[in-house]
Amino acid sequence: MRENAAVAIVTRVALLALILLGGVVADGPAAEAPASRGACYCRERALLHCTANLTERDCHRQCDEAACDDWFWKDRLPCWNWGYGG
């Protein structure tokens, strides 16, 4: 009698664990928020170039490939043309 009760308890605990684990696996990892985009500025031989609508990671990669002397990224901002009008 005692063995049957112990088996029933272990079975219920194992079933509950599988149900809980199944819920976690079905949801998967938490979704990451999309990376924000902004203006990527690259300084090369005293000239400043801007590329719009890049993520910070893409900006870093692009500036490394272009061998920029210095670079910076402005979150959620467009490129600024450093002047007004024509």
The pLDDT assigned to 38 comes to: 95
Contact (Cβ atoms closer than 8 angstroms) between residue 42 and residue 66: yes
The pLDDT assigned to 26 comes to: 47
Residues forming beta bridges with residue 43, ordered by sequence position: 48, 70
Report the distance separating Cα 82 and Cα 56, nearest Å.
Answer: 21
Q: Please write the tens of the pLDDT for every residue from 36-46.
A: 999 999 998 88
Q: Where are the domains of the chain?
A: 38-75
Residue 24 or 9, more confident: 9
pTM of the model: 0.56
Report the distance separating Cα 68 and Cα 44, nearest Å.
Answer: 5
Q: What are the E-state strand segments in the chain? A: 38-44, 47-54, 70-75
Residue 39, number of CB atoms within 10 A of its CB: 19
